[in-house]
Structure 1
Amino acid sequence: MTQLCKPILIVACASLALGMSGCAAVLVGGAAGGARVAADARTTGSFVEDQAIEMKAGSALSKEPGLAQGTRINVYSYNQQVLLTGQAHSEADHARVLELVRGIERVRLVRDYITVGPATGLGQRGRDTLMEAQVRTELVRLEDFDFTRVEIIGERGVIYLMGLVDEANGRRAAEAASRVRGVSRVVSLFEHPGAAQPPVKSETPPVESIPEPAVEEAVTSPAPMPGA
């Protein structure tokens, strides 16, 4: 690891980010999940593609010298849709992160939930981690619900839900998450299996930046999953 103030790619151990200071941080969401393929709703090919997207995003950001030390970005890919959360030090950093991620091959959509401002501290990150675990527990308790189909991401009291579920179960998951103490907002980013499947496009993928209502649901149709 160099001493330059470049973004730091955290691959398998997210806890490493908690102790870092003086440089921008990039957290890659699913890079430690190789053993989870058998329990995942995605095909093996799609799962691997998502891991590759996350790694490419982390690599691109880690090599970008222009990002300030106050920038902290989390990258998650599910079925080739990329969710970006975290804090950018400036609007320029925010724009550069979007530009780099949009340039990654096979990305269908970039969901931009980055805010511009100070990075979250250790206390808030710890609360978010606990909140994720509590939401997971609520999903496990749901009757006739496959919790392995849902990815849970917590950021500053907001819970983001990604996965391949039908509409009814998507609503159940969001309602369960909203009951957890400390959750200020639930953002459902589910795709519904069996819906119309748009192709993966070769041009630069769109960026979806959604306002911040108290409760939100954004559902899209899954694209064909490469290389099962």
Structure 2
Amino acid sequence: MNKTRVKATLANATLVVSMLSGVALTLQGCALAVVGAAAGGTLIATDRRTLGAQTEDREIQVKALSRINENLPDTAHVNVTVFNRRVLLTGEVPDDAAKQKAEAVVRDINNVGSIVNELAVQGASSISTRANDSYLETRVKTAMVGEKDLRANYYKVVCERGVVYLMGLVTPDEGAHGADVAARVPGVEQVVKVFQYIKPEDVQAVEAAAAAASDAGTVSAPAAPEATVGTVPDSSVTSRPLDSQTPAPVKNSDVHPGSAKPAPAGK
């Protein structure tokens, strides 16, 4: 059953990507597609995490996806995002027991520093909703690239049902600036800050540590795309109009302890 479910998810994910490309071009034209591609290149360029931390994050993500797939019901749709040993769980589960089970499964994984459980107890989202979320992620990243005095590559953007989650190693001012930019993107309903904060005076030390690891000769692979476990309901992809709006509300995430002590910034 699990193998069939995973294959179905991958097949539908491919369909979503194909359809989403058409949606993006229809709504915003070729200009946005070009800017989005440029934004993608920028996001890979710099990372305040060390290469060791990036590798560890990918390992945690793979383990979390596998174990959630084994322990949660087929009706669950769970996204797993990991940054600097902080695990963000988004998506939908059928009941609160499944929500708590997903968190417990992740907590049993070694080296998980903290968990942010944003799973919603409701039916799995539709393909059109997930396509719109992917589109909004691109809009937010593009807005960040175009924002003066903001380094877009410091932020990891995740969108679920119109809610944007922001992860990263940032100063309080950088976090507030990034959240403000995301909140002003049309279509975003809420922004949740999942940041790990560093002091302004520690920024140079954190970036130097990451650069030193890179200069040592180890080249890391690009970060794995955000992964999903769960069923994908049959639905056609439709675009949701993105009208101008007042800034979306911004809130801080509720962080739960993981299996290990939180890692030092950039480690």
TM-score (norm. length: structure 2):
0.63
1:15 to 10, 13, 31: 13
Secondary structure (helix, strand or coil) at the match of 1:159 reads strand
Which amino acid letter does the alignment assign opposite residue 112 of structure 2? V
Structure 1 residues 224, 138: closer, same or farther in 2, change over 3 A?
same
1:46 to 50, 53, 68: 53
2:154 paired with 1:149: yes
Following TM superposition, by how much is the alpha carbon of 1:193 offset from its aligned partner in structure 2, in angstroms? Answer: 2.3
What's the counterpart of residue 164 of structure 1? 169
Query: Structure 1: how far apart are the matches of 2:180 and 2:94?
Result: 33
2:251 to 183, 208, 216: 216
Structure 1 residues 37, 134: closer, same or farther in 2, change over 3 A?
closer
Contact 2:60 2:112 in 1 (8 A): yes
Higher relative contact order by CA 8 Å / sep ≥ 6: 1 or 2? 2
Question: Greater Rg, structure 1 or structure 2?
Answer: 2
Which amino acid letter does the alignment assign opposite residue 122 of structure 2? G
Structure 1 residues 218, 71: closer, same or farther in 2, change over 3 A?
closer
CA RMSD of aligned residues (A): 3.3
Which amino acid letter does the alignment assign opposite residue 251 of structure 2? E
Following TM superposition, by how much is the alpha carbon of 1:9 offset from its aligned partner in structure 2, in angstroms? Answer: 8.6
What's the counterpart of residue 121 of structure 2? 116
2:70 paired with 1:63: yes
Following TM superposition, by how much is the alpha carbon of 1:183 offset from its aligned partner in structure 2, in angstroms? Answer: 0.6
Structure 1 residues 12, 88: closer, same or farther in 2, change over 3 A?
closer
Which amino acid letter does the alignment assign opposite residue 134 of structure 1? R
What's the counterpart of residue 26 of structure 1? none
1:173 to 163, 170, 178: 178
Following TM superposition, by how much is the alpha carbon of 1:59 offset from its aligned partner in structure 2, in angstroms? Answer: 1.4
Following TM superposition, by how much is the alpha carbon of 1:38 offset from its aligned partner in structure 2, in angstroms? Answer: 5.1
1:32-68 CA distance string (max 9 Å, x none): x9xx76522211011111111101101112233xx22
TM-score (norm. length: structure 1):
0.73
What's the counterpart of residue 139 of structure 2? 134
1:203-225 CA distance string (max 9 Å, x none): xxxxxxxxxx94203498x7326
| Paired-residue identity, % | 31
Query: Structure 2: how far apart are the matches of 1:106 and 1:183?
Result: 33
Larger fraction in helix: 2
Larger fraction in strand: 1
Corresponding residue pairs, total: 192
Contact 1:7 1:63 in 2 (8 A): no
Which amino acid letter does the alignment assign opposite residue 70 of structure 1? T
Contact 1:6 1:63 in 2 (8 A): no
What's the counterpart of residue 23 of structure 1? none
5+ unaligned residues in a row in structure 2: which ranges?
18-39, 203-247, 256-261
Query: Structure 2: how far apart are the matches of 1:162 and 1:11?
Result: 25
5+ unaligned residues in a row in structure 1: which ranges?
20-32, 198-212
Query: Structure 1: how far apart are the matches of 2:46 and 2:8?
Result: 24
Secondary structure (helix, strand or coil) at the match of 2:88 reads strand
Secondary structure (helix, strand or coil) at the match of 1:8 reads helix
What's the counterpart of residue 105 of structure 1? 110
